[in-house]
Amino acid sequence: MLTPERVKKLRKLKGWTLRELGQKAGLHYSMIFYIEKQKRGLSSASEKKILDAFEIDNVATLERLLALYDYLEVERRGGGENSDGE
């Protein structure tokens, strides 16, 4: 369900630092860092804590948030369909 890339996307979408996510999830921020950098596996217990921190209780919510992140990234980079302001 959660991948390192998804953890980072969700954290950035919320505007949280590694420390903020760690505090909300009850995990040390260094663990979040290692998860995002794929240097540490994501246990089911840690995954649950992270999902709870993001208030995500089902796959549909997760998918909607990730789609929103992707949309905002495209807009931020000026790559939307109507990037000329119309």
Domain spans, the chain = 4-76
Alpha carbons 50 and 2: distance in angstroms, whole number? 9
- Residues composing the chain: 86
- Gyration radius of the chain's alpha carbons: 14
Q: What is the pLDDT of residue 25?
A: 98
Residue 22 token pair: 């760690």
Superfamily of domain 4-76: lambda repressor-like DNA-binding domains (1.10.260.40)
Give pLDDT tens digits along the chain (86 positions).
Answer: 789 999 999 999 999 999 999 999 999 999 999 999 998 888 999 999 999 999 998 989 989 999 998 999 899 888 765 544 44
pLDDT score at 40: 84
Alpha-helix runs per DSSP H in the chain: 4-14, 18-25, 29-36, 44-53, 59-76
State the pLDDT at residue 79.
72
